Structure 1
Amino acid sequence: MKSPTILILTGEVSGDDWGAGLASQLKKKFPRSCLLGIGGSLMKAQGVKLIADIDQLSLMGLGGVTTKLPFLFNLRRKVLDVLRDQEVDLIVAIDFAGFNMSVIKAAYQKGVKVVYYVAPKVWAWGAGRTKNLVQSTDHIAVIFPFEEQLFTDAGGKATFVGHPLVDHEFPSQDDRSDFCETWNLDPDRPILALCPGSRPREIARHLDLFVHTGQKVIERFPEMQLAIARSRSIPSAKLWKEQIPLVDEGRRLLAHSRTGLLKSGTVTLEACL
């Protein structure tokens, strides 16, 4: 049996996490497989040969996209060149719909098998985009139970595979003293976690507002202390605020926090879990 060549495409920090988990399982099932992709350090550590690093794709909102359109067009061309020059057996697209949808549509038309894992939230976009996704994929691996029926009703093949966050081992609260010592926090004071996002545009939108709101909370509840969660895709200098610790361990920060201000997205589910 021929060893498969699989192209994994993502464009965000969370997608790098999901892609790394997928790559790990693919290597177990197909030890001699060739894994290519767009991702980050976690995917690279699992043996994925990166076409591009997600640090170059930290986009949010219209402004972020328009400033990098030439880069995205070139990257799309590079991916299509890979499909032309190599015998890719399967594309696995992970979220990041703005870029991935254009790539998988072209790939599907060329006869390349396409699976979408962590499908874009087309149920929030509208029926037209649901149809486009179904028509550009061979299978959709969904992470919310209701999505399976939604895509099946639209004529697609979909399977509920569970949310990848459930597979993570979440931090214990037993190591609070060590955690607080590491990040210059007081273990006897409750923590208000500020989680402004993992993309530069998100930081620009949320950070000052979150800090201002956190300071207002402290005016009323002076026993509270603030801490800012830093994604590995964001340089510390972009988040630095005087007298507010930066914490590189977002999940541990959530585990030890009394409450938090969170940018909507994966982190809100992490906080619930």
Structure 2
Amino acid sequence: MIRIGIVAGEASGDLLGSHLIQALKQKRSDIEFVGIAGPKMISEGAKSLYPIERLSVRGYLEVIKHLWGLLKLRRELLNHFLSDPPDLFIGIDAPDFNFWLERKLKNKGVKTIHYVSPSIWAWRKNRINKIKKAVNQVLALFPFEPALYKEKGVPVAYVGHPLADMLPIEPDVAGAREILKLDADALIVAMLPGSRQSEVQQHADLFVQTAKQIFAQQPNAIFLVPLITRETRRIFELAIFNEHEALPIQLLFGHAHDAMEAANVVIVASGTATLEAALLKKPMVITYRMSNMSWQLLKRMRLQPYVGLPNILAEKFVVPELLQDDATAEKIAQTALDLVNDKEKLAAIKSEFTDIHYQLKQNTAEKAAIAVLSHLK
């Protein structure tokens, strides 16, 4: 039996991991997976030694608060793998957690693969030297990443992004509206405040106030807010209650894809959801708020003027970004309405995002599985 150690750090990693496990099992039936996995990976047969939520911490201050627990968990996981070494270890994203683990395992003779390049093209570029010591290969999701690794002599394979394989080139807006029982003529605004509790805490009041601003100008507007946990739903419900005003906000359990596909415009916290919105060819306003200390640290280390994945991939501001102090309800609302009313801009956005879709559509799980199998006897 081939044994693969695998660690994913959040929902997007769980999705990548589940597709990879499925593709690997189709090629070889004698592989088992153990480490830290989310529900999708577990449903494909992975054994999770710890809940994936233990790793879902974002922002410098938030990480510091949970640091002792994260270090203890990482040490326990390392001891587990050293006592019973896997044939291969795959770290999926979660770079600060996984690179340490990968380096320790590689030094003990375990082959290591890191799936998802950290954003060395955006900040902390010097990490590439640490990555070289930690991994036998990087599996990169974006087409501009391999050149950065090859320049430093790090083995790398471009595998594309699984969302580009999953989503159709042409979105079905009418079908999504039918699924969600929405008026075909309504102005639908999808609002995605993030997947973590800390993100929703930062964005809930802002998004509710933005909805209020839009509704004042567009009384036919309906706001869809997909959330994935009871805790994040509770935070958003409290923000609605605190506004003391009846607004057409529909909270959804999941259904982020349907909400974005049905929407005229998307207001989204920076992260993987921005890429999904782009692949659905949606105009969007990218926003983000974090603690001021985290923001000041991040600002000093940024290498690019944009933070949203669609803009990074296009290497220009295709869609607007309103971050930190610029992230006010008035600015976000007006920017979103300006986008919806600019037909020329909407056509240009759709064209750019279609080009990005074709670039990223690479049959990712298959390519990643082939790369992984090349390291196994």
Instruction: Tell whether the structures are fold-level matches, with TM greater than 0.5.
Output: yes
1:132 equivalent among 118, 130, 133: 130
Higher RCO structure, 1 or 2 (CA under 8 Å, sep 6+): 2
Q: Structure 1 stretch 117-126 or stretch 247-256: which is displaced more?
A: 117-126
SS at match of 1:269: helix
Q: Does 1:268 find its partner at 2:266?
A: no
- % identical aligned pairs: 32
Q: Shift of residue 40 of structure 1?
A: 0.9
Which runs of no fewer than 5 residues in structure 2 stay unpaired? 242-246, 280-377
Q: Structure 1 stretch 103-112 or stretch 262-271: which is displaced more?
A: 103-112
1:259 match: 265
Amino acid aligned to 2:191:
L
| Contact 1:227-1:245 within 8 A present in 2 as well | yes
| Contact 1:194-1:227 within 8 A present in 2 as well | yes
2:251 match: 246
1:206 match: 203
1:226 match: 223
Q: Shift of residue 101 of structure 1?
A: 1.8
Q: Shift of residue 14 of structure 1?
A: 0.6
Q: Structure 1 stretch 125-134 or stretch 231-240: which is displaced more?
A: 231-240
Amino acid aligned to 2:268:
L
Amino acid aligned to 1:269:
L
| Contact 1:196-1:263 within 8 A present in 2 as well | yes
Counterparts of 1:84-95 in structure 2, within 5 Å, are 84-95=82-93
Query: TM-score, normalised on structure 2?
Result: 0.67
> How far apart, in 2, do the equivalents of 1:104 and 1:187 lie?
50
2:180 match: 180
Q: Shift of residue 10 of structure 1?
A: 1.3
1:101 match: 99
> How far apart, in 2, do the equivalents of 1:232 and 1:119 lie?
27
Query: TM-score, normalised on structure 1?
Result: 0.92
Amino acid aligned to 1:251:
H
| Contact 1:192-1:227 within 8 A present in 2 as well | yes
Q: Structure 1 stretch 57-66 or stretch 20-29: which is displaced more?
A: 57-66
1:162 equivalent among 160, 163, 176: 160
Q: Shift of residue 56 of structure 1?
A: 2.7
Q: Shift of residue 74 of structure 1?
A: 2.0
SS at match of 2:30: coil
Q: Shift of residue 196 of structure 1?
A: 0.6
Q: Structure 1 stretch 169-178 or stretch 50-59: which is displaced more?
A: 169-178
Q: Shift of residue 233 of structure 1?
A: 8.1
SS at match of 1:59: coil
Q: Shift of residue 186 of structure 1?
A: 4.2
Let me know the Cα RMSD of the aligned residues.
Answer: 1.8
Q: Shift of residue 125 of structure 1?
A: 2.2
Q: Shift of residue 41 of structure 1?
A: 0.5
Q: Residues 27 and 194 (structure 1 numbering): CA distance in 2 closer, same or farther, change over 3 Å?
A: same
> How far apart, in 1, do the equivalents of 2:276 and 2:151 lie?
30
Amino acid aligned to 2:274:
T
| Contact 1:197-1:231 within 8 A present in 2 as well | no
Amino acid aligned to 1:93:
G
Q: Shift of residue 154 of structure 1?
A: 1.0
> How far apart, in 2, do the equivalents of 1:142 and 1:95 lie?
10
Q: Does 1:9 find its partner at 2:10?
A: no
Amino acid aligned to 1:153:
E
| Contact 2:7-2:37 within 8 A present in 1 as well | yes
